[in-house]
Chain A
Amino acid sequence: MKNNTILRTERLHAHYILDVYGKAKVIKAVNDVDLAIQEDEIYGIAGESGCGKSTLLKALAAAVEPPLRIISGRVTYRIAGAEVDVSTLTQEEKRKLRMEYIAYVPQGSMSVLNPVSRIRDTYRDFIESHISVHQKGEAFALAKEHLTELGLPVKILDAYPHQLSGGMRQRVTIALATLLKPRIIIGDEPTTALDVVVQRGVVQLLKDVQAKLKNTIVLVTHDMGVHANIADRIGIMYAGKIVEEAPTEKIFSAPTHPYTHYLINSLPKFGDKSPRESVPGSPPSLANLPTGCPFHPRCPHVMDICKQEMPGYTQVASNHKVACWLVGEGTHGKAA
């Protein structure tokens, strides 16, 4: 593969290590994840809630804080042609990279916007802490220009966050995150709990931004419809692992992993009222993972070997890899 991988993880394990009255409790939120995310691509991550999507994003954004810890593996960025291991960066270097190189929009848009200051002040603080502006008006002009460019009304600069609707707040947050034209934007469920019309507006904004900056977006959402509309490639996550990865069309037209099957086929469609089945059972506890393939307690095709050993990745087509015994033994990635 030609090397325009901008964001890479290698056998990444990230766990929450909690101290529950003297007993350590380990929540294995990310297990053995290999990603190679390209430049100028929208990479979608899907999976049911609690499967570790947000945790993976925290690791990607170098926003790992206790109790979360990187147990093994590494995350690398490609900055100016050179691969940089994130763990070697100092706090100051990370702070500089954040927003200028990589922008992270965490779950829940209010967290970024200060509830007691106007949007304009949030913008000003943000601009002043990252670029040296000389005149007072300069930052404001920059903010205005940026909003207009993204098609957002300029009058929201005078509003407080609580005066804006959820969808508008979400778009302001995204606008803010893209102000410095970062090479990578990481969005965690930016449209969840928004209604369909607003969701479409937010997706539209993300797409516009990506088209303009030609950068990389990593997008987490459990709404397969959103993925179908925006993502170039999709990774399906289950119990902390990427169990299938393929270009979006392939995921929808030829889902291969039994879990992906359920995910795609359980979606209701207009004009079709035939009963749809959801994934049986409930998601595994990440503190107490099943042995072998983590999906085996819920899988209709479970075999003996599934209960004992984790399957490795099998390349079923170019760009399409699956970790399932049904498809093959796989080459690497047999997690301990």
Chain B
Amino acid sequence: MKLFRDLLRDYRFAFAFGVLCILVAFALLSFFSPYDPSRWGQVPRDLRPSAQHWLGTDSNGQDIFWTATFAVRNSLIIAVIAGVVSRIIAVIVGMVAGYKGGTWDRVLMFFSDSLLVIPLFLIIVMMAMLIRASLNLVTLGLLLAFFGWAWDARLIRSQILSLREREFTQTAILSGASTFKLVINEYMPYTTPLIFSTLINNMAWAIGLEITLAILGLLDLATPTLGTMLYWAINYQAILLGRWWWVMTPITLSVALFIALYWLSVSISEYLDPRTRVQRVGAG
């Protein structure tokens, strides 16, 4: 709780956190939606924003406000799955490679390097095309997770490598700590900032990629996400036809999400940075 209060003193964090809360609340509204997001033509098409339809309606005959609540929710689900699963892979790979070294290190780093050198975007597009039929929120999240861990695993590994040489590692071993305890107790405090900031960055990356894949038409277009909303808006030439409410809604939401995530990541990693943290502990 103290951590949270300290963080809130950073105006960037306070702002980002506020925005994120609003977006999450917005996403939660979807549970009270009067409309079924998968059905079209439930409302009159192409209405301007009005008291009845706050953000207007689109050419598919859907209410934009309520569709957007689903879109934010689904995009966040994808981002969280991608972020969390890829963090788990990155942490395990990075820690095992860094602490065990030797053959483990070589094999694991071979995999992560392979992922780093291949043209990631093309592969993801190809994979998405291949498994398009079974591509739902969860599988898309897992697909992105599978490609999103390599760089961060490397970062964690190099951090563990340098921590392993620090004397407190030996103190912990002399205190009888097992390898598992050593990694959790001694190294986690150092890797946590990295995990957090890369988690948030990775979520932003996943949201961005989802939008890209959707615009390319590679996703299940009946499920509303920020990406598919944009796809339809572009498909119906909403800009040319002056239906700004249709285009601006997903764009504004995406931008707000990106900025909030970015500032969150910057302020959290600054706060958790071991160097400044040591100073703070010392000043305490």
- Do the two chains touch directly in the complex (Cβ atoms below 8 Å apart)? yes
| A22 vs B283: C-alpha distance when bound (angstroms) | 12
Residue A276, interface by CB 8 Å: no
Residue B280, interface by CB 8 Å: yes
Residue B6, interface by CB 8 Å: yes
Residue A18, interface by CB 8 Å: yes
Contact in complex: A22, B280 (CB < 8 Å): no
Partner of B6, one of A18, A21, A25: A21
| A216 vs B241: C-alpha distance when bound (angstroms) | 82
Contact in complex: B280, A20 (CB < 8 Å): yes
| A134 vs B6: C-alpha distance when bound (angstroms) | 57
B283 — which chain A residues lie within 8 A by C-beta?
18, 20, 25
Using CB atoms, name the residue of chain B closest to A27.
B283
| A20 vs B283: C-alpha distance when bound (angstroms) | 7
Chain A nearest CB from B89 CB (Å) reads 33
| A62 vs B271: C-alpha distance when bound (angstroms) | 32
Residue B106, interface by CB 8 Å: no
| A24 vs B49: C-alpha distance when bound (angstroms) | 52
A21 — which chain B residues lie within 8 A by C-beta?
6, 9, 280
B280 — which chain A residues lie within 8 A by C-beta?
20-21
Contact with A along B1-36 (1 / 0, CB 8 A): 000001001000000000000000000000000000
Chain A nearest CB from B184 CB (Å) reads 29
B279 — which chain A residues lie within 8 A by C-beta?
18
A18 — which chain B residues lie within 8 A by C-beta?
279, 283
Interface residue range, chain B: under 10
Chain A nearest CB from B277 CB (Å) reads 12
Using CB atoms, name the residue of chain A closest to B284.
A20
A20 — which chain B residues lie within 8 A by C-beta?
280, 283
A25 — which chain B residues lie within 8 A by C-beta?
283
| A25 vs B282: C-alpha distance when bound (angstroms) | 11
| A22 vs B8: C-alpha distance when bound (angstroms) | 13
| A298 vs B26: C-alpha distance when bound (angstroms) | 64
Chain A nearest CB from B284 CB (Å) reads 8
| A25 vs B279: C-alpha distance when bound (angstroms) | 12
Residues facing B in A19-50 (CB within 8 A) are 20-22, 25
| A25 vs B6: C-alpha distance when bound (angstroms) | 17
Using CB atoms, name the residue of chain A closest to B10.
A21
B6 — which chain A residues lie within 8 A by C-beta?
21
Contact with A along B240-284 (1 / 0, CB 8 A): 000000000000000000000000000000000000000110010
Contact with B along A88-114 (1 / 0, CB 8 A): 000000000000000000000000000
Using CB atoms, name the residue of chain A closest to B6.
A21
Chain A nearest CB from B167 CB (Å) reads 14
| A231 vs B258: C-alpha distance when bound (angstroms) | 62
| A18 vs B279: C-alpha distance when bound (angstroms) | 10
| A18 vs B280: C-alpha distance when bound (angstroms) | 10
Using CB atoms, name the residue of chain B closest to A19.
B283
| A170 vs B9: C-alpha distance when bound (angstroms) | 44
Using CB atoms, name the residue of chain A closest to B9.
A21
Chain A nearest CB from B4 CB (Å) reads 14
| A207 vs B146: C-alpha distance when bound (angstroms) | 63
Chain B nearest CB from A138 CB (Å) reads 41
Chain A nearest CB from B124 CB (Å) reads 37
Q: Which of A18, A21, A22 has the most CB of B within 10 A?
A: A21
| A103 vs B75: C-alpha distance when bound (angstroms) | 60
B9 — which chain A residues lie within 8 A by C-beta?
21-22
Chain B nearest CB from A16 CB (Å) reads 11
Chain A nearest CB from B254 CB (Å) reads 34
| A131 vs B84: C-alpha distance when bound (angstroms) | 57
Contact with B along A287-310 (1 / 0, CB 8 A): 000000000000000000000000
| A20 vs B9: C-alpha distance when bound (angstroms) | 12
Chain A nearest CB from B197 CB (Å) reads 21
Using CB atoms, name the residue of chain B closest to A287.
B283
| A21 vs B6: C-alpha distance when bound (angstroms) | 8
| A96 vs B191: C-alpha distance when bound (angstroms) | 43
| A162 vs B279: C-alpha distance when bound (angstroms) | 29
| A26 vs B129: C-alpha distance when bound (angstroms) | 62
Q: Which of B9, B280, B283 has the most CB of A within 10 A?
A: B283
Chain A nearest CB from B75 CB (Å) reads 35
| A22 vs B6: C-alpha distance when bound (angstroms) | 11
| A72 vs B9: C-alpha distance when bound (angstroms) | 33
| A1 vs B135: C-alpha distance when bound (angstroms) | 90
CB-based closest 9 A-B pairs: A20-B283, A25-B283, A21-B9, A18-B283, A21-B6, A20-B280, A22-B9, A21-B280, A18-B279
In the assembled complex, 6 residue pairs joining A and B whose CB atoms fall closer than 8 Å, in A order, are A18-B279, A18-B283, A20-B283, A21-B6, A21-B280, A22-B9
- B residues touching A (Cβ–Cβ < 8 Å)? 6, 9, 279-280, 283
- A residues touching B (Cβ–Cβ < 8 Å)? 18, 20-22, 25
What 7 additional pairs, Cβ within 8 angstroms, besides A20-B283, A21-B280?
A18-B279, A18-B283, A20-B280, A21-B6, A21-B9, A22-B9, A25-B283
